[in-house]
Chains A and B, each alone.
Chain A
Amino acid sequence: MKKINLCAIETTPPLAGLDRICDMEAGRMAGKVFWDGEIYEQELEKIFARCWLFVAHESQIPNAGDYVATTMGEDEVLVVRQKDLSIKVLINACPHRGNKVCFAEAGNARGFICNYHGWAFGTDGALRGMHESGVYEQSGFDKSQQSLREARVDSYKGLVFATFAEDAPSLAEYLGPMAWYLDVILDNDEGGTEFVGGCIRSTIECNWKIAAENFVGDILHAGWTHDSAAQAMLGGSVTKVSEFPESWQVNWNGHGYEFTRDLVGNAAVLGESGVNKYLHLHRPKAEERLGEFRSKMLGAVSSFTVFPNFSFLPGQNTVRVWQPRGPNKIELYTWVIVNKNAPQEVKDMWRRGAMMTFSPTGVFEMDDGENWEYCTKTSRGKVTRYQDLYVGLGMNTRLTDTDLPGNVFKGQLNEANARAYYQRWKDLLQAGSWAEVPDRNGKLS
């Protein structure tokens, strides 16, 4: 593997007492998980500086010099298309005094120049020159040692991920069999996918995990929380999930997907009949690529989180990163994903439909934000912080006689994915290195 300039970060010993506040075998945890400065610092170190994190869709940066800015945890990074069309992820901080070298969220650049002392970097992160360069030569300055720091980068069918951990498993190993499920949205058409232009950013005063967990496997909330939006968009309540003939939760390494196979159950809430029509017409083509089983998941009632903080809703095609900003605040980045070959009017329906439903101005999301904020804020109270929270639905519903990949559980109304998510969270916080992270696959209940 290519040598990259990652200085090891200072590590701290795992916190004691995590078992007390997070016991997934019993299906119990405490609100302290959502409200604790020490835990948050450990998360930045042991989760966000360690895991593969989603940073961009390849379609956002098609040409050499194209870049988008994002964050990995709280670390600011630039995702930059190189001259050879490979992608680099560079820390957006000058190795002189640490100032940002790029203040825009996206664009095309020949390089990045720090506003402070004029250090100029190529799009590959190499230091090319400095203001008053003569003075550096007198100090025996070695430019080759002063590049922007790079993260490891890999892609899966258009999605670009990066990690700061040299000892992290490969992205393929990290995603494991969940890649088979990601293909439902990423690979149902020969042209692949793209993001609609732009990104909507908003601020929610909640812990990042409560939002990620909602997408990892909480369809249970939809019928209740989103009743008003369903009435507004469909003129009736959300379909009762308990009445679906078949549905599943699947997970692996903390990632989770909950789904049924009704093709358009999620898509229907957009209130754009053209989207449903597209999915019906497109399904046979998708079946050729994905098989009959997965072709009926395209826009079905479902949701997905890739551990730790990347989520999307098939059908609504809204894509999220829950960017952590302290234990009780997130910045929410929202995009819309569409098939590149879909007709422009269908792409526009998805752009507007996702805005109308699952975005900060969406009628569905209106009722999520307040729930997540108060799931977090109530733990200000010292006593409330240690109150047992129930995460026990669907205990012992694991299916062992199925061909579906991953850890498979019967029924979408289940907290199996939430348990797997928090178990993975705890395992990472308790592990001193990637080698120490236990393999729970096949053993979760």
Chain B
Amino acid sequence: MSNLELVSVEEERVAKAFLLREARLLDDERWDDWLLTLSERIHYWMPGIENRRREDGKGAYVEEHMALFDDGFRELQRRVNRFKQPSAWAENPPTRNVHLIGNIEVFAGDEPGQYRVFSTFINVRSRGLDEQYQLAGRREDVLCEEGDGLKLLKRKIVIPNATLPCKNINTFL
């Protein structure tokens, strides 16, 4: 965190384009294309948020505690696999998604060919005639050059909610 090193304008442009395309793929339910944006070594982590006092020192989340996502590539494939089943009853009619991505900052990663990327998101989901759920949060990603482009190697997703205001998270953030 201490020495964040800026990258070239071109590298920044490519990293931003990666995040914006990813959001579009998710909104369009292009699950298989989305999986192709991930490194098979990915760690996709969204800790559960805890409401503790400042002097507690643990902060808002603890690595080994309960999480909303703590996935590798196999787990993300399984989640996608469920979305694609004709018997995913609660996805038919489909959930309609918008992923808004902002506050993008791109820095050099710890290793050559890696980028450390901070961003924020607002995800609005609607189901049925009138259900609407909105989640906002911050993300910290590591993108890496793999094959012919960038892949997502690490993602940490932190939302402010200690209680999810909704019944599930049937999307990726």
Please give the residue numbers on chain A whose beta carbons come within 8 Å of chain B beta carbons, in ascending order: 103-108, 196-205, 225, 227-229, 231-233, 271, 331, 334-336, 348, 351-352, 355-356, 359-361, 363, 365-367, 369-371, 373
Prevailing SS type, chain B contact patch: loop
B171–chain A nearest beta-carbon distance, Å:
10
Chain B window 56-85, contacts with chain A (Cβ cutoff 8 Å), 1 for yes, 0 for no? 100001101111111100110011011001
Smallest CB gap from A356: residue in B = B75
| A360 and B65 contact, CB distance less than 8 A | no
Contact of A334 among B50, B66, B79, B88 (CB under 8 A): B66
Contact A360 B167 (CB under 8 A): yes
| Min CB gap A129→B, angstroms | 20
Q: Which 6 A-B pairs have the closest CB atoms?
A: A198-B65, A369-B167, A228-B85, A198-B66, A232-B82, A228-B88
Bound complex: CA A124 to CA B169 (Å): 39
Of B52, B87, B166, B170, the residue contacting A106 (CB under 8 A) is: B52
The distance in angstroms between the C-alpha atoms of A204 and B90, with both chains bound, is 14
Residue among A232, A336, A359, A360 making CB contact with B85, cutoff 8 Å: A232
Are A197 and B66 touching (Cβ within 8 A)? yes
Tell which of B33-41, B106-114, B136-144, B157-165 binds the partner. B157-165
Q: Is the CB of A106 within 8 A of B82?
A: no
Quick check: A197 and B65 within 8 Å, CB to CB? yes
Question: Once the chains bind, are A227 and B66 in contact (CB under 8 Å)?
Answer: no
A355 and B170 contact, CB distance less than 8 A: no
- Please, which residue of chain A has its CB at the minimum distance from the CB of B79? A363
CB–CB B164/A360 < 8 A: yes
Whether B89 contacts A367 by the Cβ 8 Å rule is yes
Give the chain A neighbours of B75 by CB distance below 8 A: 352, 356
A160 and B61 alpha carbons, distance in the complex (Å): 25
CB-based A-B contact count at 8 angstroms: 131
Beta-carbon contact of B78 and A203 below 8 Å: no
Alpha-carbon distance A409/B96, docked complex (angstroms)? 44
Known: A198-B50, A229-B82, A367-B88. 19 other contacts (CB 8 A): A104-B52, A104-B53, A106-B50, A196-B64, A196-B65, A198-B67, A201-B163, A204-B167, A228-B89, A228-B91, A232-B85, A336-B66, A348-B64, A352-B67, A363-B78, A363-B82, A365-B168, A367-B90, A371-B89
In the complex where A197-B66, A200-B48 touch, is A370 in contact with B162 (Cβ < 8 A)? no
Contact A198 B62 (CB under 8 A): yes
- Check: B51 CB closer than 8 A to any chain A CB: yes
A to B CB contacts below 8 Å, 10 in the list: A104-B52, A198-B48, A198-B50, A199-B66, A225-B89, A351-B67, A355-B69, A356-B78, A361-B169, A367-B89
User: Chain A contacts of B79 at CB under 8 A?
Assistant: 232, 363
A348 to B86, CA, bound (A): 31
Chain A residue at minimum C-beta to C-beta distance from B46: A361
Q: Which residue on chain B has the smallest CB distance to residue A372?
A: B167
Alpha-carbon gap, A274 to B65, bound state (A): 20
Contact A335 B66 (CB under 8 A): yes
Q: Determine the distance from Cα of A239 to Cα of B66 in the docked complex, in whole angstroms.
A: 29
Instruction: Please determine whether A231 and B66 come into contact, CB atoms closer than 8 angstroms.
Output: no
Which residues from chain A contact B52 at a C-beta distance below 8 Å? 104-107
Tell whether, in the assembled complex, residue B68 and residue A359 are in contact, meaning their CB atoms are under 8 Å apart. yes
Question: Is B87 touching A231 in the complex (CB atoms < 8 A)?
Answer: yes
In the complex where A271-B78, A367-B88 touch, is A105 in contact with B166 (Cβ < 8 A)? Answer: no
